[in-house]
């Protein structure tokens, strides 16, 4: 084929076919390119759920009749007084929602920023691939990778870092001795 010579019909079909193949290939790549960004957005959206659950737990404990104790079950928080929208218990990255996509560790003492923190609630499964959103007994929420999560579940974490804003003011009159290790 000479340069500048007009293309034959076969050559045009070949060039157009190649262009279409490249186009379809790139089109197929789009979901893979944007998937990590979408999961990152869902992980961030998920954090607002344990954050709200944490606020509701502190509100529940603040009711005098509840004697500074967190609820024995998260189901008790699904009420207009605490959390009216059931979707607050659904992780955005969970494909098939259970009643509650967050696991809860009952019987823990709510802590202040200067105290040891324990895992209070967390993504029940590895919805976010490499880790989970975790609510701690000071009311803060952190994303933890698996090894970090299981260590925190077993041993707890140190006091709230200064960079974290504690969303609730824990009651100073919490019941002593109620802190338990997560099982
Ligand atoms: Zn989640």
Tens-digit pLDDT profile for residues 97-142: 888 999 999 999 999 888 999 999 999 999 999 999 999 999 999 9
88 domain residue, yes or no: yes
- Sole residue written with tokens 């869902």: 42
Range of the domain at 59: 39-155
20 domain residue, yes or no: no
* Alpha-carbon distance values, 131 to 49, 50, 88, 169 (Å): 16, 15, 19, 27
Q: According to the model, what pLDDT value does residue 5 have?
A: 73
Query: Is the C-alpha dihedral spanning 34, 122, 57, 68 positive or negative?
Result: negative
Overall number of domains in the chain? 1
Instruction: Tell me what the mean pLDDT of segment 35-48 comes to.
Output: 91
- Would you say the pTM of this structure is higher than 0.85? no
32 domain residue, yes or no: no
Q: What is the mean pLDDT of the chain?
A: 86
Distance 123 CA to ligand 1 centre (A): 5
9 domain residue, yes or no: no
Distance 85 CA to ligand 1 centre (A): 16
Distance 24 CA to ligand 1 centre (A): 33
Distance 125 CA to ligand 1 centre (A): 8
167 confidence band (pLDDT: 50, 70, 90)? low
Distance 99 CA to ligand 1 centre (A): 14
31 domain residue, yes or no: no
175 domain residue, yes or no: no
144 domain residue, yes or no: yes
127 domain residue, yes or no: yes
């Amino acid at each position: 084929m000479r340069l500048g010579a007009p293309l034959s019909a076969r050559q045009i079909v070949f060039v157009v076919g190649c262009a279409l193949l490249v186009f379809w290939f790139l089109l197929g790549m789009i979901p893979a390119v944007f998937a990590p960004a979408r999961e990152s957005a869902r992980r961030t959206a998920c954090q607002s759920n344990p954050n709200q659950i944490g606020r509701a737990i502190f509100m529940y404990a603040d009711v005098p009749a509840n004697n500074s104790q967190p609820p024995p079950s998260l189901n008790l928080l699904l009420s207009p007084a605490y959390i009216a929208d059931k979707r607050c218990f659904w992780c955005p990255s969970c494909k098939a929602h259970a009643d509650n996509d967050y696991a809860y560790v009952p019987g823990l003492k709510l802590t202040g920023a200067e105290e040891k923190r324990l895992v209070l609630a967390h993504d029940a499964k590895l919805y976010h691939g490499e880790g989970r959103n975790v609510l701690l007994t000071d009311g803060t929420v952190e994303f933890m990778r698996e090894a970090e999560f299981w260590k925190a579940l077993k041993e707890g974490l140190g006091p709230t870092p200064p960079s974290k804003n504690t969303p609730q003011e824990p009651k100073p009159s919490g019941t002593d001795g109620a802190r338990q290790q997560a099982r």
